[in-house]
Amino acid sequence: MHDEAGTWRGRRVLVTGADGFLGSHLVERLLSRGACVAALVRPSSLTSAAVGIAGHALRNLGGVQRDLARVIAADVASSDAQAQIVAFEPERILHLAADAYVDRSFDHPGEVLRSNLDGTLRVLEAARRCLRLERVVVTSSSEIYGDAQTPAIAEDHPLMPTSPYAASKLAADRLAYAYHRTHGLPVAIIRPFNTFGPRHPYDVIPRFVARALRGEPLLVHGSGEQSRDFCYVDDMVRAFLAVGEHPAAIGQAVNFGTGVATTIVELARRVVALCRSSSPIEHDPPRRAEVARLCCDHGLATRLFGWRPTVSLDEGLARTIAWARECSAR
């Protein structure tokens, strides 16, 4: 795989959604590579503690906050965010900010669309005005594909979103590509499959782990035979670095995942076993608009960047469980 270290050192990099689960891991890695990082975060990410930049502490980046070049607390879909992105004069923009709760999109579709589509529009418009810009990476989602029609999903799979959230991400994905074609903007689109690891506050794995550690029932929606491709956060951070620095990424939309689909009921069994828990597995009604199967074909990522997953599901779960135990002991 292409060596990222030298290509990030000294680069001015702006990360949106920087204090989120994946964004915070990515920011830490960028700082370790010597990048000059500005973090765009939601105002709600700031606490009242008088720590670090602007007199506020970030939830997930407190340990490295003093190393950040700038913290921008703004709604990514606002004109203020757009202006502050331009003012930082980034060379690379990694756009992760999103309203990522699928269930929220059922009852608040307008708010989700605003965050995910209007927010991406603001970032792209800012990028057009950044004179030093080398790359803007836009984060899409595996949810844009809908139910897998092939054993593994490649980039040419039909795009059939089943939820308003997935539709909003597809709209942002295609808008980013249109800006590349219309304005010659150096856009690269990353399509992550289900990512998990420490700091993940929602979704099935953190929910299962929390319940198993408390000895509570693990609630599986429907039959549990629906399956997902779970990729550990360290591997996905490597994916972002590759898309953010490799010349071959410009103009591409690239899938990243393990190529292994695990049913939700099997995931529940693994979490119970790894937690050494006595939690029973119970079934709830099916979720609305749930995709039956997602499994990644990462062949293009391997061909372009030499990227392959390195952390197995069990190893990633073990690391996540250890982190959760440590958090609960504090």
Active site positions, annotated: 165
CA atoms within 13 A on the CB side of 278: 1
Residues across the chain: 330
DSSP 151: S
DSSP 296: B
Distances (CA, A) of 287 to 33, 45, 121, 212, 295: 41, 29, 30, 21, 19
Report the candidate in 207, 255, 246, 237 with the shortest Cα–Cα distance to residue 18: 237
Euclidean distance between CA atoms 237 and 256, whole angstroms? 10
DSSP 54: G
- Rg (Cα) of the chain, in Å, rounded? 19
Instruction: Evaluate whether 255 touches 154 at the Cβ level (below 8 Å).
Output: yes
What SS3 state is found at 40?
Answer: strand
Q: For residue 15, give the amino acid letter.
A: V
The CB density around residue 49, as the number of other CB atoms within 10 Å, is 11
User: Does the CA dihedral 172-236-93-152 come out positive or negative?
Assistant: negative
The two tokens of residue 166 are: 């997935």
Pairing of strands 227-228, 262-263: antiparallel
